[in-house]
Amino acid sequence: MRKQIFLILLIAFILPFQGISQITDENRSVTDLVLTELNRERLVQRENLDLRIKQIDSKISSLDESLKNTSSATEKVEKLVERVQILEEKQSELDKNVVSVYKYNYSSAVLNLASMEREIKPLNLFNSSRDFYTTLDRVSNPMTYDGYTAWFKEFEKYIEANKKDEAKLAALSHILNVTGNLAEGTPFTGMFAGSLFDGIGSFINSLGKRDRDLRDKSMQMFKLTTTVSQFTHDKDLIETEWKVITKSLDELKELQEKAMEDNIVKILGINRNEFKKNFTDETDAKKRTQYIINVSKIAENKIAEEKNRNPENWKQDYYNQMVNVQNLKIRFGTLTFRILENLDKYQSLINKYKDDEFLKTRVAELSLKLNMVRNSFESTFNPQEYIRASNEMYIVE
């Protein structure tokens, strides 16, 4: 079970990480490129709007001045009517800007939601990594240390020979039969470890002067067993957090899938399989860019259509979707931050046992692989930058 829930570690070392990093970098570049172009178009529209508003304000100022200098009631009425018409024109232009901002912001929501589709995918790939975890298992399993298996056979002989006379040894024998092959990684923790310690202690006490070599060997193996047991306990405390992270990742994926269904399928009317083919699974960046540009145009058109169809209450549904997507992205960034925090806990574990006489060689190997994992992860996911970008993904005017 623990192997199924362990997250984030090396996928066949450097090359796969480079591939995943390339996927996310290309994905961000496509999104940034399209959003930059959309924002450029919006800024041109905004410049034209500003110019138009200045012209309108100038007309209003001229009318106001003329009204002050007009004594004719008829002329005042005409100018007031003209002023109302100009104000309506100004409001119309301002409304166009609101629509323009909504077009950009909703397109940003759709593009960022689509990007998340491709960003969660490599994060799930990290979840299937085994190399770091395999090394971690080797540190935790005393049966993989030199001489331990041969010594343990001698210990088992003692158990079988004395279990009829000692209840603790009988219980230990039963546990060993239930757990099966210890070489496969049965954790030396909990009640099993306690029974094992009692049994080894009895075994050592039973050895006389004629068995000095075996006694010395047993003392060393006892120390190794207790050290590995404590290491495994400390490791398991860290892995408990991976279960929570895995659950959060699964929940995030479900929410992202729902958001995709709500926006891509229901609002934009795009077939999910078509989207997957042309964006999520597409490896050609140019094709993916052109496709997402087309999607953004569909999003803009939907805003305009909704404004015309429901001029009094056209914003709410799109606003809700934008908030939802932003929250998902912030949640994703927070999740990657939690992953890095948990990797730091492994570093603390390594620091604790790096000088231990039995574990230091394997812990040193573990440290190298952890550094590789962390560096590769950080080059692919930058939690702080991701959260910052999520908070700034919309234009506020």
- 247 has pLDDT over 80: yes
pLDDT at 6: 39
The per-residue pLDDT for 20 is 38
Model confidence over 149-159: pLDDT tens digits? 999 999 999 99
Tens-place pLDDT, residues 379-396? 777 888 888 888 888 888
Q: What is the pLDDT of residue 230?
A: 94
Determine the average pLDDT of the residues in 231-242. 89
pLDDT, the chain, mean = 83
Query: Which pLDDT belongs to residue 84?
Result: 86
Give the model's pLDDT for residue 126. Answer: 55
Whether the per-residue pLDDT at 360 is higher than 90: the answer is yes
**Model pLDDT, residue 87:** 86
Q: Summarize pLDDT for 69-78 with one digit per residue, the tens.
A: 887 888 888 8
**10 Å Cβ neighbour count for 298?**
16
Q: Where are the domains of the chain?
A: 2-41+104-138+241-391, 140-229
pTM of the model: 0.74
270-321 pLDDT, tens digit per residue, is: 999 999 899 888 888 888 888 988 998 999 999 999 998 998 889 999 999 9
Residue 39 confidence (pLDDT) above 80:
no
203 pLDDT band (50/70/90 cuts)?
very high
Q: What is the pLDDT of residue 15?
A: 31
Q: pLDDT-derived band of residue 2, with 50, 70 and 90 as boundaries?
A: very low
Give me the pLDDT at residue 233, please: 92
Share of the chain above pLDDT 90, in %: 35
